[in-house]
Structure 1
Amino acid sequence: MHLLLRLGERDGKPDYESVHVEPIAGNRFRVLYSPGFAYGVAAGDELEVDEEGRYRVVARAGNLSVRLLCGSGVADIEQSLTEQIERIGGRLDGQVRAGLAYTIPLSVGRDVIGQLFAKAKQENPSALWEYGNVYDEDGKLMEWLRSEA
């Protein structure tokens, strides 16, 4: 099933991302694929979601959400990068013309992940990449990762 997660507002109106989830109980859901836009969450995490789409992670699955964006498109990047991500136990969760969303186990290590994405950026200078669930809105390491740092 799909669930709308609130991203914030755009032009004074709520903005949402539709994500694949499985219901657990009541307003609690498990995310099946790392989102492309919603921050703070990755595949496997359990969320509580209110009627307006605001969400709170209540249980972490131990995965990192990593996104790559490229204004010129990701067609030339996707195959090679996805093969490398799969070799370390990750997977491609979503793709649009200009973006890729991956889920990678935290146990791989952020150094290894960072090296893979830095190489992809070096080979495709217009590409940008980011973690979707590592830093908070102030740029600080999220609480759930502080013991892993």
Structure 2
Amino acid sequence: MTLDPQPPVGTHIRLLADFTNGRPVFEVLPALLQAPALFELVGSPGLVLGCAAGDVLRVSDDGQFEVVEQGQNLCIQAAGRGYFTPESLADIRNAIGKLGGVAEAPPNLRFVVVTVSRAVGLSAIEQVMDRWAAGVDGVEWWFGNGDQANTAR
């Protein structure tokens, strides 16, 4: 048995999400260093579009990135008029968990991020998300990566 003398290094990367008043807005996400400027994303973003956990990204110093290798996951982002309740987060965690995915939110419950395998299929994912969203006042959800990115529901 051989041991890798240098296991992957856990770190965080800063990705450009948008600009507000001409100033960049960044999202900091967990990642594994693969090579200089090349990272495997460990968590799906809540603000950034175009990537999901499992993707390998080339990241520049200004936070811009390109997906070098697409992973097996879809990222679904959801937001509403206000904050989510702990119950609504528990509901989507339970529903998406049945598909083998995970749902996460920041402590203030301002938005929800879902990571689920592409293999589950868009129809099954859309059904779960639509059913959940129908029970939450004012919520919209969209695919944050893949061909479906930026398609709000």
Separation of aligned partners in 1, 2:110 and 2:15: 21
* Contact map agreement 1:71 1:98 (CA 8 A) in 2: no
Q: CA shift at 1:64, angstroms? A: 0.2
Name the SS of the counterpart of 1:74 in structure 2.
Answer: coil
The answer for the alignment partner of 2:3 in structure 1 is: none
Amino acid at match of 1:80: D
The answer for the alignment partner of 2:116 in structure 1 is: 104
Instruction: Tell me if 1:116 matches 2:144.
Output: no
- CA-based RMSD of the aligned residues comes to 1.5
What is the TM-score normalised by the length of structure 1? 0.86
Q: Name segments (4+ residues, structure 1) moved above 6 Å.
A: none
Separation of aligned partners in 1, 2:133 and 2:105: 19
Identical residues among aligned pairs (%): 24
Q: CA shift at 1:72, angstroms? A: 3.2
Q: CA shift at 1:70, angstroms? A: 2.2
Separation of aligned partners in 1, 2:22 and 2:135: 38
Output aligned runs, 1:1-149, within 5 Å. Answer: 1-75=11-85, 76-95=87-106, 96-134=108-146, 135=148
Matched length? 138
Q: CA shift at 1:136, angstroms? A: 5.1
* Contact map agreement 1:34 1:93 (CA 8 A) in 2: no
Range 3-12 or range 52-61, more displaced: 3-12
Q: CA shift at 1:12, angstroms? A: 0.9
* Contact map agreement 1:117 1:129 (CA 8 A) in 2: yes
Name the SS of the counterpart of 2:18 in structure 1.
Answer: strand
Amino acid at match of 1:102: V
The answer for the alignment partner of 1:145 in structure 2 is: none
